[in-house]
Amino acid sequence: MKTLTKEIWMDIPQRRAIVSIHNEVERLVDKSGVQDGLVLINAMHITASVFINDNESGLHHDYELWLEKLAPEKPHSQYQHNGYEDNADAHLKRQIMGREVVVAITEGKLHLGPWEHIFYFEFDGKRKKRLLVKIFGE
């Protein structure tokens, strides 16, 4: 069995952003030499997510509005966690969007639907964070 493990460091200058990591994951799958297997992409911080959806800016805007309605950032006083930090909303948004994705690798390529694209979603940026990419298979 072949494996490849890589940590990707993200440094998002604003508090929230959606960043495509699709091309980097494709590059790592190619580098791994795995023809048939799986790739796990995991946000290693509890205020960030990895998700798969359409690469369309209107949808990204809709995510931002929807998540802000579900877990508004302000007022900070609405959250007990904010006695420690001001990022309780980021923890809740991460819970909704998820921690990781797993994608099949077939014939050395990501096996995704026609509109599927891999993203990192930062909810509490302005500092370095890591993603884990773990590839394994034959």
Phi-psi region of 93 (alpha: psi -120 to 50; beta: other; left: phi over 0): alpha
* Strand 128-137 relative to strand 109-110, pairing: unpaired
Domain extent listing, the chain: 2-137
| E strand intervals along the chain | 2-11, 17-20, 36-43, 48-53, 100-106, 109-110, 117-122, 128-137
For 94-114, write each residue's pLDDT tens digit: 999 999 999 999 999 999 999
User: What pTM did the predictor assign?
Assistant: 0.95
Choose which CATH entry (3.40.50.980, 2.120.10.70, 2.60.120.460, 2.60.120.560) describes domain 2-137. Answer: 2.60.120.460
Judged against a pLDDT cut of 90, whether residue 93 lies above it is answered with yes
Helix 88-97 crosses helix 57-70 at what angle (to 10 degrees)? 120
For 13-35, write each residue's pLDDT tens digit: 999 999 999 999 999 999 999 99
For 58-88, write each residue's pLDDT tens digit: 999 999 999 999 999 999 999 999 987 899 9
